[in-house]
Amino acid sequence: MNGHMAGVGEAPSAGSFEHGVQIIDGDKEFNANMNEYLQVEHVAEAGFNYHIISVFGSQSTGKSTLLNNLFGTEFSVMSETARQQTTKGIWMSKNKRIESAGTKMADNILVMDVEGTDGRERGEDQDFERKSALFALATSEVLLVNIWEHQVGLYQGANMGLLKTVFEVNLQLFLKDKKSTPRSLLFFVIRDHLGTTPLANLRNTLIQDLTKIWSSISKPQGLENSRIEDYFDFGFAALPHKILQGDKFVSEVATLGSRFTTGHRGKSGNKDDDELQGGVFLPEYHRRIPADGFSMYAEGIWDQIVNNKDLDLPTQQELLAQFRCDEIAREVLISFDVVITPLEEKQAEATRFGKPTVLPDLGATGSKARTEVLKSFESQASRYHKGVFTRKRQELESKVDTRMKALYQGQLSAAHKAGVVAFSEAVSNKVKAGQKAGGGYEFAEIVASEKKKTLDIFKVEAQSLAMQGVPWTNFKTQYMLFEQELDEVSGKLRKEEMRRLATRVERWVKSRLGEAIGLEFNKLGSGRGGTGAPEEGEKPATEKDLWDRIWNVFTGIVKEAEVRFAERAKSFDASDEEVDVGMWRLRRKSWVALREKVDEEVMEGNILMKLRENFEDKFRYDEAGVPRIWRPTDDIEGIYTKARESTLKLIPLLSRFRLASTYAPPDLVSFIGTQPGGVEAGDEEDLPPIGGVDEDEGKSLEEETTVLSESKRQDLVVRFKKTADGVFVEAKRGALGGVTQ
């Protein structure tokens, strides 16, 4: 039937588990192969869907034989002929039967067979008996108590001694675990049942004995009044003699096997197995150790037992949970790393090379990896101690999120940098294109549309990173910072655009001044103060109001320029302040341009020519503008002197920018106005100081409006006189010549 004997005394080699696995050997060592066994048997992955049964009873009462027949296991059985001693230890094997007597048995039943000398009868090693009982109680849902029928009622018998041990040990065990107090089923299997005494009678006798034993054991403080029913349910079965009634034995064992299914408690109480509905495995018997942590738990328990430490199951369960949760976290992080580490590396490398890169599909990839790592942790670890699990889950989440956060921040920082560059380039390119096409572009519109485009791209990226229920993935702040920087960049670009506009307007002012001021100076060439007839409504020009005319023309041009500038600047959303600054700069630059133009006009050669023309006009033409034909009788000296003096009067007039109306320089201070608030330090570098306006420059308005210095004036007088003299001599000579001819 069991067909094996060879296993006696031999430990199974790792990987060959035909007789199950010896989890505790004769030297009380825990066998590290247990977990491997659970994996080979596919129990490790079963979660809570497994059951543990242990067997108790005196030596050689057919325990192993019972288990092998019930569960198809191959535990060592003492030879009927040799009667030799089996080795001590605890063996475990998975149930090999799928069904019994037509009933499907529970999944993943693990059976533990305790072997040992009958210490009680031989007076030795009760220590191992006690230790194995403790171990069985700490782990098993069902404890099979194997007993001969003829032992029932023998209160002083060996079995009763064993049960006493079990009860004492149980109280000790659950002293620390008052909260959960797991129950167990004590399932009596009465062997060699003759059938003359009905099972019900045997049961009553046993219950009486058990109650007696319970009352006789010394109970720890606080548990003096506890009842046996607080800890145990009872089950009973009887089997006929295996050898004498072989067939009946087989069929009864099959019936007994059919009870090893899951069950639940009946309505009326818990006294004994009459109350059990369905099978023997009640949920409350389960120790709630996940299968993948069972061997570790068992090892911890055994370690405590062997070292005679007080067993503290709740602490053991917490330790197990910590260890397993850490282990599971490490396992699930491997798949997370496979996805996330390459992205982290890519990002780090891009940053190192100063080329922040936006990783494609990061949001989808990241959220999938995060969900998966947490989900697979939960599915495995949530079976362990709730408090520990919750804490470890949080640890894992924060570990994962620390990395995800860095990755996402890097992503948005890259998107930010790339966005700023793209925005600034796009605006510049469009402005350039607009300029090329003749300047017909609207700066403000370009900025607005490019800003919207750039913001949208950023928004899409930020939204793709957001995860529901994960507050740190709300990147509103980053979005706002990005928008802020775009506005700063827009400001800079607008400033550049303002500069370009200013340059254009200045150029326009210069060219207008060139023409208009040149015209005014040209009028000097005509000694009567003007060329040709004055325009209708225009006051005839006189030499005396040269500067008034220049000032009027100048302020008129500047006014026009200011209007152009302001209108254009407003069109690209420049602030009033920026416009004010621009116009202030424009007035200053225009004044400088005017001074340059005036300087050009009064350059030695130019002004001398103008004076000569002026003089010749007065000398060579009469009041009616008719050229004079000199005759010897003419008062050439008189006309010459008058004309020369008249022209000489121009030199002091030209020397100073004085308005005839006020006999004073123009009011430059009011013209330029006070410096507006928006001028930044360094902005004025290209603005030369203006005397009388920039007080601390040490140059007065007087100096600013001095066109010819004293020495230049004198020099000009001398040169002009020489020129005039030349004209005079020529005229004189002409007059004489004319007479002679």
Please give the residue ranges that form the binding site for ligand GDP (CB under 6 A).
57, 59-65, 77-78, 80, 191-192, 241-243
Residues 6+ apart with CB under 8 A from 595: 704
Instruction: Please check if 463 is assigned to a binding site.
Output: no
Provide the angle, in degrees to the nearest 10, between the axes of the packed helices 546-571 and 576-601: 150
Distance in Å, CB of 167 to ligand GDP, minimum: 21
61 binds, among Mg ion, ligand GDP, none (CB under 5 to 8 A by kind): ligand GDP
Told to check if 58 binds Mg ion by CB under 5 A, we report no
Instruction: Please check if 64 is assigned to a binding site.
Output: yes
Residues 6+ apart with CB under 8 A from 298: 23, 30, 34, 135, 139
Instruction: Please check if 625 is assigned to a binding site.
Output: no
Distance in Å, CB of 217 to Mg ion, minimum: 27
For residues 538 and 23, what is the distance between their CA atoms, to the nearest angstrom?
Answer: 124
Instruction: Please check if 258 is assigned to a binding site.
Output: no
Helix (H) / strand (E) element for 322: namely: helix 313-352
Q: Please, where are the H alpha helices in 466-475?
A: none
* 237 phi/psi in degrees, rounded to 5: -150, 155
The dihedral sign for the CA sequence 366, 367, 371, 374:
positive
> Would you say 59 or 376 has its CB closer to ligand GDP?
59
Instruction: Please check if 439 is assigned to a binding site.
Output: no
DSSP state, 664? B
> Would you say 65 or 184 has its CB closer to ligand GDP?
65
367 binds, among Mg ion, ligand GDP, none (CB under 5 to 8 A by kind): none
Instruction: Report how far apart, in Å, the C-alpha atoms of 575 and of each of 491, 616, 707 are.
Output: 10, 55, 38
Distance in Å, CB of 166 to ligand GDP, minimum: 16
Q: Please, where are the H alpha helices in 353-385?
A: 362-381
191 binds, among Mg ion, ligand GDP, none (CB under 5 to 8 A by kind): ligand GDP
> Would you say 87 or 646 has its CB closer to ligand GDP?
87
> Would you say 60 or 351 has its CB closer to Mg ion?
60
Cβ pair 288, 48 in contact under 8 A: yes
Of residues 59-78, those binding Mg ion (CB under 5 A): 63-64
Distance in Å, CB of 57 to ligand GDP, minimum: 6
Instruction: Please check if 132 is assigned to a binding site.
Output: no
65 binds, among Mg ion, ligand GDP, none (CB under 5 to 8 A by kind): ligand GDP
Distance in Å, CB of 80 to ligand GDP, minimum: 4
What are the contacts of 130-133 at 24+ separation with CB within 8 A? 130/165, 130/169, 131/28, 131/305, 131/306, 132/24, 132/90, 133/56, 133/162, 133/165, 133/166, 133/169
Told to check if 367 binds Mg ion by CB under 5 A, we report no
> Would you say 8 or 592 has its CB closer to Mg ion?
8
Cβ pair 92, 111 in contact under 8 A: yes
- The alpha carbon torsion through 461, 463, 469, 470 (nearest 10 deg) reads 30
> Would you say 243 or 681 has its CB closer to ligand GDP?
243
> Would you say 190 or 583 has its CB closer to Mg ion?
190
Specify the pairing of strand 184-191 against strand 142-148: parallel
Instruction: Please check if 300 is assigned to a binding site.
Output: no
> Would you say 64 or 139 has its CB closer to Mg ion?
64
Distance in Å, CB of 128 to ligand GDP, minimum: 14
DSSP lists the bridge partners of residue 235 as 187
165 binds, among Mg ion, ligand GDP, none (CB under 5 to 8 A by kind): none
Helices (H) and strands (E) in the chain, counts: 21, 11
656 binds, among Mg ion, ligand GDP, none (CB under 5 to 8 A by kind): none
Specify the pairing of strand 21-24 against strand 89-94: antiparallel
Instruction: Please check if 63 is assigned to a binding site.
Output: yes
270 binds, among ligand GDP, Mg ion, none (CB under 5 to 8 A by kind): none
Distance in Å, CB of 87 to ligand GDP, minimum: 11
**Residue nearest to Mg ion as judged by C-beta position:** 64
Distance in Å, CB of 72 to Mg ion, minimum: 16
Q: Which residues bind Mg ion (CB under 5 A)?
A: 63-64
Give binding residues as ranges.
Answer: 57-64
Give binding residues for GTP as ranges.
Answer: 57-64
